[in-house]
Chain A
């Protein structure tokens, strides 16, 4: 569905992504894990057209999408839930959701939009309770639900999630993760970026490990969860000496 080859992205003269290749097949949940500054968010922002890529190819459903402006990327079927939610604070919950369907509204898909609103409220009953509430006054977890709901209102084929667990209480994280996992059953394919490696590997099929803009490991989530390097670096099972038993290269 999504196929990225040799992606290079620069911020001014600093290389943020160095020859990154990855793919997401239809119906998959794929996660990108890595430390701060590894380039995870940059990948998402490059896909959605927020940052231009210097070199490389991004194909979505066999169509080249790099270089397209963000709105065309959304129209192609990719929606992003940005880091830190970035919902429209002064607007109500309903207005936020409706804005997510902006492109479809222009295409006169009004009935379908109403249907999808119903779906959103089934998916997130909490949002229904707060339908008229000003979004800025929601709790962190509710704001995250709203942000995901808003992205889904565009009926994306591929959903890009940037740190959905950030700043949320552990119980809420479980909740959000379960919802994301359930989205797959509705035919949504997901690329998720997380610092919470454990939570994201639990719900994903495959994963890529990024270090300083490069993919250093890829594999099924099962393999990654059991990988000693991943355990040490991202699952908090650190050892005192990494190169224990041998000379440091």
Chain B
């Protein structure tokens, strides 16, 4: 099996440790020197970058949260002057303000490299026809994957807003050999194929690479046998990094961490202590090479565990499991991170003083995550004219789509239902 970056993917453990230490020390020095937020954080804990004598010492440093990213909107966490930034990508984030990530030219190169590692490990080569099907909320990843695949030299069909049947038509006509998508969308495609009688054997597909959501063993089996392809997955927090933070190889035993560019910790979400191999905890990431947007101990909200085994492939990069769940109340819907509070704020914006209670109901339909918002019917919403009521709801749906990139349905329910069933206001019912 080919490796994209053999020298760094097969690095000897001792050499890797040295490189990680050097990069971590210089990252901390730069963050402390150039980013007021980090300097304040470090100072408040009374810790200086020079306190780091080994990679394990990273646990002494303060955690960075999504809240911090929102608080420092837009440029507060940038470590280089704006004129060095060549790309900004912004995502909804999980707080009031969006999350903005900046890239220097060099940062984009690094992102391409780690993405290309993931793609190559999944079997992508320069002669492939790669089709990217992601929902709008994962636009940034669509770009990262497109650029990664292009750096390999593959022919790329970037993500578009075509319907599933059109995507399938393109897949047949353009002889797509690699599909990049989310597990649920791949399953959804399978369903549509059955409905409109497209035979999987008529496709030129040889591999499906998935991102954004955990890939269950069942889903993998189902996709592999139905499409007769290999299915591998990539990992990264979709709001702040690319999909190549960790990736599966053809052994499919776990995710190889791109350890020369990221330090990945697994910590107990409550105590913050490091979790031993095999024990699930929250994934905490630190960048080692990022210039524009260094992240120190970023809490991803994803749960996973270290795998204490070596892989049969030629890579020496350590293994971490796939995502086993999520912490706190950050929701992951079709790979997009969201927080119920964002919907609450929208409602407050629309209805001002008397904002109705609501519930976010998540369920699966045709393998896709669906979002239903149960909204309390109040006097402010109610109108005896259907048109006005319709308008209000449409406006709400549009605004949610603009912020989260997700289509949602809105169901109006009686106020008494909230009381009768003791439903939590602005809570989440997850039936997935």
- Listed in ascending order, the chain A residues whose CB lies under 8 Å from chain B are 3, 5-6, 18-23, 25, 208, 211, 214-219, 223, 226-229, 239, 242-246, 249
Please measure, in the bound complex, the distance between the C-alpha atom of A214 and the C-alpha atom of B105, giving whole angstroms. 24
B36 CB contact (under 8 Å) in A211, A217, A227, A249? A249
Please measure, in the bound complex, the distance between the C-alpha atom of A139 and the C-alpha atom of B18, giving whole angstroms. 41
A82 → B minimal CB distance (Å) = 26
User: Is residue B170 within 8 Å, beta carbon to beta carbon, of the partner chain?
Assistant: no
Please measure, in the bound complex, the distance between the C-alpha atom of A226 and the C-alpha atom of B105, giving whole angstroms. 9
A3, A18, A214: most-surrounded residue (chain B CB, <10 A): A214
A21 touches B80 (CB 8 A): no
A245 touches B23 (CB 8 A): no
B79 → A minimal CB distance (Å) = 9
Please judge, given known A-B contacts A18-B50, A22-B22, A23-B22, whether A246 and B75 are in contact too, CB under 8 Å. yes
B82 CB contacts on chain A under 8 angstroms: 244-246
Give 11 new A-B contacts, CB below 8 A, not counting A216-B29, A223-B106, A228-B84: A5-B21, A19-B50, A19-B53, A20-B25, A22-B22, A23-B19, A215-B29, A227-B106, A246-B81, A249-B36, A249-B39
A245 CB contact (under 8 Å) in B33, B49, B83? B83
A159 → B minimal CB distance (Å) = 21
Please measure, in the bound complex, the distance between the C-alpha atom of A25 and the C-alpha atom of B35, giving whole angstroms. 32
User: Is residue B253 within 8 Å, beta carbon to beta carbon, of the partner chain?
Assistant: no
User: Is residue B26 within 8 Å, beta carbon to beta carbon, of the partner chain?
Assistant: yes
User: Is residue B143 within 8 Å, beta carbon to beta carbon, of the partner chain?
Assistant: no
B78 CB contacts on chain A under 8 angstroms: 246
Please measure, in the bound complex, the distance between the C-alpha atom of A126 and the C-alpha atom of B107, giving whole angstroms. 46
A21 touches B30 (CB 8 A): no
A21 CB contact (under 8 Å) in B22, B39, B291? B22
Q: Closest chain A residue to B109 by CB distance?
A: A223
Please measure, in the bound complex, the distance between the C-alpha atom of A211 and the C-alpha atom of B26, giving whole angstroms. 10
Q: Interface 1/0s, chain B 71-89, versus A by CB < 8 A?
A: 0000100101111100000
A23 touches B29 (CB 8 A): no
User: Is residue B104 within 8 Å, beta carbon to beta carbon, of the partner chain?
Assistant: yes
Please measure, in the bound complex, the distance between the C-alpha atom of A18 and the C-alpha atom of B30, giving whole angstroms. 14
B30 touches A216 (CB 8 A): yes
Q: Closest chain A residue to B18 by CB distance?
A: A23
Q: Interface 1/0s, chain B 9-25, versus A by CB < 8 A?
A: 00000010011011101
User: Is residue B168 within 8 Å, beta carbon to beta carbon, of the partner chain?
Assistant: no
Please measure, in the bound complex, the distance between the C-alpha atom of A148 and the C-alpha atom of B106, giving whole angstroms. 35
